[in-house]
Amino acid sequence: MTFSGSISTPVGVLEVHSDGIAIRRVTWPRPGRALAGRGASDAARDPLLAEALEQLGAYFAGERAAFDLPFDLGAQSETTSAVLHALYDTVLQGETVTYGELAERSGTAVPARAIGSIMGANPIPIIVPCHRVVASDGLGGYSGGTPGEGLRTKRWLLEHEGALPPALF
């Protein structure tokens, strides 16, 4: 059984999906495809979903720096799983890591240029913080956020965490 809930954040509505044992997905729904109020009833039926929504709310309020939630990355290659776990385990709030540095930290033979594709395969953004992975010469890309707002979302998240100074304009 899958439970779903949503939370409104400064970077758009997030949908969180749980199977009651682990968080399985975090997504930004396409406009017009939100859960339409299902979140409260599913959170009441799944304590893990309720906890995830509470922790996300605290994160966006600036009251939480790390997540303490079981998660399941789903069907990923061993390499993808190793890279995403290295990201979760070693890159804390307020820090960034380059694609090449994350490749090294993961202990895999993945070239730096492939790390971006692995970040795009992350089914649990924010909780597994792919927004903290940057290019050696700038922000790099970001596929999260409301459609068309990926880099704006990444910049907001990094500013919120203190990894980037706030933009002047």
The residues carrying an active-site annotation are 130
Q: At what angle do helices 78-90 and 99-106 cross, to 10 degrees?
A: 110
What 3-state DSSP class applies to 135? strand
**Do 56 and 9 touch, CB atoms closer than 8 A?**
yes
Three-state SS for 2? coil
Non-local (6+) Cβ contacts of 20 within 8 A are: 1, 3, 46, 48, 49
